[in-house]
Structure 1
Amino acid sequence: MKTTYIQLSLSAVLLLGIYSCKKGEATASYNERADSVADSAAVITSDSISSAATMKVKDKQFIKTADVNMEVKDVYEATISIEKTVQDLGGFVTHSNLQSNVVSQDTYNTSGNEAMLIKKYQTENTMQVRVPTEKLGDLLFIINDKKLFLNSRIINAEDVTSNIKYAEMEGKRIKKTGENISQLKSNKDKVKLDNDNMAEGNLQQLANMDTTDNIKYSTVDIYIKEPKLRIAEIAVTNTQNIDNKYKFNFIYDAKNAFVEGFYLIQKIAVGLITVWPLLLILAAVIYFLRKRKLTKPEHTKIQE
């Protein structure tokens, strides 16, 4: 009886072991298929964008930038979508200039008091966004779905590995220079040298921070516009009818003309009073000319 129990126990353990192995093999097979599908999707996404956007090289550091110029169906809707996508990817918008360029506008009177303003315009937007570098390919893939026509797309991957190495060497040099300066005697020259060295060190740290930030976040310049003109119909007031209504008032204008004429006479009188010396000289000249004219005939008669 005891022997039979032991045999049954061993059989049960053997069966459980076989089942576990099969289950593990099935799970491993499933995971391998899932990883294969994910890798295939990643390859498809990468191939559909650009290898420069998703490129990774061992022991290399890249600053990646992109420039996209495309036409979309609705600039405002595309702008909102891109801004939300950038935020979801952990990025941020640094510049967005959405504007409508008016090509022409005309006003058509529809009644005595109403008119319709017709504007033909084209909307465009110039954006600059920054996203984590590992998300650059995702952003370009999503933006690509918004396009009607892609005018251009430029992706740059600048290798800054040597620049980083040089910055590290410069940091060591500045640190060594600071140690050497600290050993000098305290005087005016030492203060100046120490100040210059600290300023150089601050500039180097700032450059290192900029480089690190540019490596971590990629800058993407986006220009989008609508391919055709849009038309806006705006109800306005019939200004021409209003102008005609108040353009001329005979009684009011006649009254103003009479008053203006009275003021003109006053101005002329004041002007004559102002130039009285000239009038006096003119009167004297006329008097002497007339007197000379009268004297000349008498002199001629005496000679005869």
Structure 2
Amino acid sequence: MKTTYIRLSLSAIILLGIYSCKKGEASAAELETYAATDSASAIVSDSVSSAASMKVQDKKFIKTADVNMEVKDVYNTTISIEKSVQEFGGFVVNSNLQSNVISQDTYNTSDEEAMLIKKYQTENRMQVRIPTEKLGEFLTFINSNKLFLNSRTINAEDVTSNIRYSEWEGKRNQKTSENIGQLKTNKDKVNLDDKNMSEGNLQKLATMNMTDNLKYSTVDIYIKEPKVRIAEIAITNANSIDNKYRYNFIYDAKDGFVYGFYLIQRIIVALINIWPLLLIAGGIIYFLRKRKITKPVSSKTQE
């Protein structure tokens, strides 16, 4: 009897050991599976922001994004982004590419030639609209063009209650229109109907804008180059040209003679224009001189 009990106890211990081993193996397998799943989720989260691809049942989100990064070549990156926007089914709202000149100097290389050296930095501010369901893919594409990401902001605004309120307002506006229709036609009814139609149009416009914002996400993009670029532009030596034509004696003498001739003509024309004043001045001078001559003659006669 005692031997049988011992055998049963040993059997139970062995079975428990086997069960524990299998359970441990199963737990390890589950952990590895979870780790693999978690790693995959981490990769997806790194490449596509959860905020950009977030979907919640019975919720509606208006999504916007703001990306600030440095790229190798602003122009080529701009062309690439604009092309990808079209491929994703979106459109470019604006794209303002410009080169900010830091300094520019001119160096003469010969009597006729010179070199203009410009140091500049190129940047671009863009705003694009992307179908909301492809926002995550688009942000992933933009991220592949970066040298350094300064910042990336993604907003998901819950507008579920706004949509419900818009529906309620539409029903209210329709009910008000039916009530106005039952009134007798007079001036007050016309004013009420006009006001109600105006409110209805504003409500429709707000609904259209919200629908558009739900369908397309707005992405603001700022890209710039981290280093200063240098442009070498061959130009004409301006100093040499200025010295060449700064002074020409024969031409200047001829020009001075012609200018003097025209100056005389202008003086004569000016005198002709003021001939009445000259005539009056001449008469006054003649009268004064004649009076001076008359006075001495009369004094001698009295003696």
Tell me, yes or no, whether TM beats 0.5.
Answer: yes
Residue 15 of structure 2 is matched in structure 1 by none
Residue 182 of structure 1 is matched in structure 2 by 181
2:288 and 2:150 mapped to 1: Cα distance?
90
2:45 and 2:239 mapped to 1: Cα distance?
61
| Residues 291 and 212 of structure 1: CA distance in aligned 2, closer, same or farther (over 3 Å) | same
1:137 and 1:211 mapped to 2: Cα distance?
20
Matches within 5 A, 1:34-73: 41-47=40-46, 50-73=49-72
Residue 169 of structure 2 is matched in structure 1 by 170
Unaligned 5+ segments in structure 1 are 1-32
1:89 and 1:259 mapped to 2: Cα distance?
72
Residue 271 of structure 2 is matched in structure 1 by 272
Greater Cα shift, 221-230 or 200-209: 200-209
Residue 102 of structure 2 is matched in structure 1 by 103
Greater Cα shift, 117-126 or 86-95: 86-95
Q: CA deviation at 1:204?
A: 1.4
Q: CA deviation at 1:75?
A: 0.4
Residue 81 of structure 1 is matched in structure 2 by 80
Matches within 5 A, 1:117-266: 117-266=116-265
1:60 and 1:105 mapped to 2: Cα distance?
55
Q: Which amino acid aligns with 2:70?
A: E
1:127 and 1:271 mapped to 2: Cα distance?
64
* CA displacement, residues 235-273 of structure 1 (integer Å, 9 cap, x when unaligned): 223343333333333222212211211222232233334
Asked whether the 8 Å contact 1:62–1:160 carries over to 2, the reply is: yes
Residue 114 of structure 2 is matched in structure 1 by 115
1:158 and 1:62 mapped to 2: Cα distance?
5
Asked whether the 8 Å contact 1:119–1:231 carries over to 2, the reply is: yes
Q: CA deviation at 1:173?
A: 0.5
Asked whether the 8 Å contact 1:92–1:129 carries over to 2, the reply is: yes
Q: CA deviation at 1:98?
A: 1.1
Greater Cα shift, 238-247 or 130-139: 238-247
1:109 and 1:134 mapped to 2: Cα distance?
58
Identity over aligned residues, as a percent? 74
TM-score (structure 2 length as normaliser): 0.75
TM-score (structure 1 length as normaliser): 0.75
1:263 and 1:202 mapped to 2: Cα distance?
73
Measured on the aligned residues, the alpha-carbon RMSD in Å equals 3.3
2:163 and 2:277 mapped to 1: Cα distance?
90
Q: Which amino acid aligns with 2:166?
A: A
2:234 and 2:191 mapped to 1: Cα distance?
71
1:219 and 1:253 mapped to 2: Cα distance?
66
Q: CA deviation at 1:69?
A: 1.5
Q: CA deviation at 1:127?
A: 0.5
Residue 5 of structure 1 is matched in structure 2 by none
* CA displacement, residues 212-243 of structure 1 (integer Å, 9 cap, x when unaligned): 22112211100111122211112223343333
Q: Which amino acid aligns with 1:148?
A: L
Q: Which amino acid aligns with 1:131?
A: I
Residue 92 of structure 1 is matched in structure 2 by 91
2:40 and 2:130 mapped to 1: Cα distance?
21
Q: CA deviation at 1:40?
A: 5.0
Unaligned 5+ segments in structure 2 are 1-32
Greater Cα shift, 228-237 or 191-200: 191-200
Alignment coverage as a number of residue pairs? 273
1:284 and 1:158 mapped to 2: Cα distance?
96
Greater Cα shift, 264-273 or 118-127: 264-273
SS, match of residue 155 in structure 1: strand
1:84 and 1:272 mapped to 2: Cα distance?
75
Q: CA deviation at 1:74?
A: 0.8
1:226 and 1:71 mapped to 2: Cα distance?
5
SS, match of residue 146 in structure 1: coil
SS, match of residue 112 in structure 1: coil
Q: Which amino acid aligns with 1:90?
A: G
Asked whether the 8 Å contact 1:46–1:54 carries over to 2, the reply is: no
Q: Which amino acid aligns with 1:155?
A: I
Greater Cα shift, 187-196 or 159-168: 187-196
